[in-house]
């Protein structure tokens, strides 16, 4: 693991990475209103969903990702993403939270136009299962940074301004500062860091998932959650 990033993540999490359960799986989930609204476009390739493919740029066959400005650094695990569909014409088996593979197989067998229906889409971002990699994906720190520089119009949450000052690299420090803005600043840029203060998506508590870190984007139009998954699940 990169020592500099390890220190940065431990600063955000307020404890060493080694303190976390070593046998658990850690994952990043993303809920984004723009993706949700467009995911079940008529051009969605249901075979990708049914097979549980991992897709990345240019997100061919998944217009909800390709056409919405979805972060290009991420790959999406369609099979382990979670969906809830509330529409009169869908089979009863989809009227609860289901993984992508199940949803894809059911809709491939019984096609339904969902382009105008209410759905919930919680995307599983592809990582290696470690907390380090989930945090790296959540913070987009799997790339090089410049010399730093945060828009002076943005305000960092004061406690995080103090804590992040311990990160020596100015590029990394300013990048993380932009992910720890005040609620007011985060409405237009960057994100607000919530730490563990997020209940998780509705289906998570029943499965024993525990929120490790959370970010809110805009006026809650998007949310990223790093979660700890019990060893018996993945």
Q: What is the pLDDT of residues 71-97, one digit of tens each?
A: 888 999 999 999 999 888 888 888 889
Looking at residue 143, its pLDDT comes to 77
By CB atoms closer than 10 A (0-12, 13-18, 19+), residue 32 is: buried
Q: What's the mean per-residue pLDDT of the chain?
A: 92
Question: Which of the two residues, 2 and 158, has the higher pLDDT score?
Answer: 158
Assigned token pair, 77 = 């695990």
Query: Taking 80 as the threshold, does the pLDDT of residue 229 lie above it?
Result: yes
Predicted local distance difference test score (pLDDT) of residue 71 = 84
Closest CA to 94 of 118, 116, 115: 118
Query: How many percent of the chain have pLDDT more than 70?
Result: 97
C-beta contacts of 109-115 below 8 A and 24+ residues apart: 111/46, 112/87, 113/42, 113/89, 114/40, 114/85, 114/87, 114/90, 115/40, 115/41, 115/42
| Euclidean distance between CA atoms 72 and 125, whole angstroms | 11
Query: What is the per-residue pLDDT across 163-217, written as a single tens digit (0 to 9) for each?
Result: 999 999 999 999 999 999 999 999 988 999 999 989 999 999 999 999 999 999 9
Query: How much is the pLDDT for 147?
Result: 67
Check: pTM over 0.85? Answer yes or no. Answer: yes
């Amino acid at each position: 693991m990169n020592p500099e990033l390890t220190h940065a993540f431990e600063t955000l999490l307020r404890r060493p990475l080694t303190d976390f359960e070593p046998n658990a799986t850690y994952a990043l989930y993303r809920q984004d209103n723009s993706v949700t609204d467009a995911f079940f476009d008529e051009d969605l390739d249901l075979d990708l969903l049914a097979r549980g493919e991992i897709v990345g740029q240019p997100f061919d066959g998944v217009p909800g990702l390709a056409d919405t400005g979805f972060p290009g650094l991420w790959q999406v695990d369609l099979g382990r993403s979670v969906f809830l569909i509330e529409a009169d014409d869908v089979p009863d088996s989809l009227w609860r939270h289901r993984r992508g593979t199940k949803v894809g197989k059911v809709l491939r067998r019984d096609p339904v136009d969902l382009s105008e229906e209410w759905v919930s889409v919680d995307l599983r971002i592809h990582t290696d299962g470690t907390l380090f990699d989930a945090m790296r994906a959540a913070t987009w720190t799997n790339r090089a940074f410049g010399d730093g520089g945060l828009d002076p119009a943005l305000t960092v949450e004061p406690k995080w301004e103090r804590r992040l000052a311990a990160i020596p690299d100015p590029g990394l420090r300013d990048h993380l500062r932009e992910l720890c803005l005040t609620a007011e600043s985060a409405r237009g840029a960057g994100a607000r860091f919530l730490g563990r203060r997020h209940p998780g998506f509705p289906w998570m508590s029943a499965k024993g998932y525990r929120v490790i870190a959370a970010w809110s984007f805009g006026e809650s139009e998007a949310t990223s959650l790093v979660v700890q998954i019990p060893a018996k699940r993945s």
